[in-house]
């Protein structure tokens, strides 16, 4: 028997960009929203732990995921979701100055904060998504409310051509935005 037909929208981005918050809003709106971390645990794809973070066997998870997804529109939330062969990928972005503040507010170690701020500055997840995914969009969450971000993701998922045009990747350049602040930002 074939698995049900799903349209998978990945909500990805550097930790602290708002993925979980937006996913909760979409879930409240009645959408099927699945956390990659929870799915990896359920499908026994956790292969270790480092600094309190679970290490996921992404290749194994990508093989198993199609058999467990519900039919219809599904949002996959997590910073690895773009690696699971989604139909659409939405990369959430955040100004590195604000991202640093958010991650420090979560009590993250200086090293982990720096690692993630640097990843955001150099567009790490966006580049990875562009290399691996068919259809990619990016949203700057720095000054948008989580409700607004959820609205944009919903419009993209439903095929709204204007939203797709407005959120095509390539419009966010953190190095140009933060300029000389970069040295201060990435200093431990």
Which tens digits make up the pLDDT trace of 113-127? Answer: 999 999 999 999 999
The whole-number pLDDT of residue 1 equals: 44
Is residue 89 a part of any domain in this protein? yes
pLDDT higher than threshold 70 for residue 13: yes
Query: What CATH code is carried by the domain that includes residue 119?
Result: 3.40.50.300
Task: Kindly provide the b/e burial profile for residues 66-93, where b requires at least 16 CB atoms within 10 angstroms of the residue's own CB.
Answer: eeebeeebbbbbbbbbbbbbbebbbbbb
Kindly state whether residue 135 falls inside one of the protein's structural domains: yes
Could you tell me what percent of the chain has a pLDDT over 90?
78
Domain count for the chain, please give it. Answer: 1
Query: How far, CA to CA in Å, does 147 sit from each of 29, 91, 137, 142, 184?
Result: 11, 16, 17, 13, 32
d(Cα 164, Cα 144) in Å, to the nearest integer?
17
Query: Mean pLDDT across the chain, nearest whole number?
Result: 91
Domain contains 1: no
pLDDT at residue 50 in the model: 78
Instruction: Confirm whether 53 is domain-assigned.
Output: yes
152: domain range?
A: 6-185
Q: Are 126 and 14 in contact (CB under 8 A)?
A: no
- pLDDT one-digit tens code per residue, 23-74: 999 999 999 999 999 999 999 999 988 777 788 999 999 999 988 888 899 9
Judged against a pLDDT cut of 80, whether residue 188 lies above it is answered with: no
**pLDDT of res. 5:** 62
Taking only the tens place, the pLDDT of each residue in 164-185 is 999 999 999 998 888 777 767 7
pLDDT at 106 over 50: yes
């Amino acid at each position: 028997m074939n698995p049900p037909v799903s349209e998978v929208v990945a909500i990805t981005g550097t930790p602290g960009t708002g993925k979980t918050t937006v996913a909760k809003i979409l879930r409240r709106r009645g959408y099927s929203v699945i956390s990659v971390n929870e799915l990896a645990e359920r499908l026994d794809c956790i292969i270790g732990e480092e600094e309190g973070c679970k290490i996921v066997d992404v290749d194994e998870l990508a093989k198993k995921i199609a058999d467990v997804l519900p039919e219809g529109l599904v949002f996959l939330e997590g910073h690895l979701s773009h690696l699971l062969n989604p139909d659409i990928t939405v990369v959430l972005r955040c100004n590195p100055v604000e991202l640093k503040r958010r991650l420090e507010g979560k009590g993250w170690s200086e090293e982990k904060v720096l690692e993630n701020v640097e990843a955001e500055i150099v567009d790490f997840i966006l580049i990875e998504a562009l290399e691996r995914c068919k259809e990619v969009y990016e949203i700057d969450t720095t000054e948008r409310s989580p409700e607004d971000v959820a609205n944009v993701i919903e419009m993209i998922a439903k095929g709204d051509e204007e939203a797709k045009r407005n959120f095509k990747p390539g419009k966010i350049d953190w190095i140009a935005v933060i300029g000389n602040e970069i040295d201060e930002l990435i200093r431990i």
